[in-house]
Amino acid sequence: MLYIFDMGGVVTNDADGSRVIGDMLGLGREAFRKVCMDCRDGKGDLLMQVSDGRISVKEFWGIFEERSGIHARTDWWHALFHPRMNEGTAAIIKRLRAEGNRVVCGTNTMESHYANHVERGDYALFDQTYASFQMGVSKPDTEFWKIILVSEGIEAKDAVFIDDRKENCDAAASLGIRAIHFTSAEALEKELGKL
């Protein structure tokens, strides 16, 4: 069996990066997100582009500065990102691997957050990590899971996907993957027991 775990909100308890960065820049969360998603300059939604790897984090901050007039002195995505491990979920992953299952991470992320997780050793929990910015596609686009299934050489019916976002679970399920909407490690343990 292949188990595909989302990272943020499932394996780690992440703070809302947009809120923290927006506050740091004196904008607040909503104004920061509005600048990122303002497509009037023809450069598109910066958050989706950096997650899909279509622009680098450096390019993100350059376009953000053009749009907002605010100079970002550093990569705030990296500097302000301090996820906390969900020890309950980590224990489940370790148990699944010890039982002989393949367990991978399937995450929407950008290079800054990915680097932070690498520095902390968070991805060492998994047999493999599939990061959206490297894959060129983000959840809930079904291509995300198709790439993982092909890479792993497994059929959808032999995969289980765990994510805290319902829309991602619904998209995975549309391919025939068994999807579990994550709410807590305890609830996940119960759902896995039903498989």
Q: Which two tokens stand for residue 31?
A: 């104004």
The per-residue pLDDT for 98 is: 98
pLDDT digits (tens, 9 = 90+) for 99-113: 999 999 999 999 999
Instruction: Say whether the peptide bond before residue 83 is cis (omega within 30 degrees of 0).
Output: no
Question: Which are the contacts of 178, defined by CB distance < 8 A and separation ≥ 6?
Answer: 157, 159, 160, 161, 195
Percentages helix, strand, coil for the chain (3-state, rounded to 5) are 50, 15, 35
Cα–Cα distance measured from residue 98 to residue 94, given in angstroms and rounded to the nearest whole number:
6
Q: Does domain 2-14+84-193 have CATH number 3.40.720.10?
A: no
Per-residue pLDDT tens listing for the chain (195 residues): 999 999 999 999 876 688 899 999 999 999 999 999 988 888 889 999 999 999 999 999 999 999 999 998 899 999 999 899 999 999 999 999 999 999 999 999 999 999 999 999 999 999 999 999 999 999 999 999 999 999 999 999 999 999 999 999 999 999 999 999 999 999 999 999 998
Spans of all domains in the chain: 2-14+84-193, 17-79
Cα–Cα distance measured from residue 33 to residue 36, given in angstroms and rounded to the nearest whole number:
5
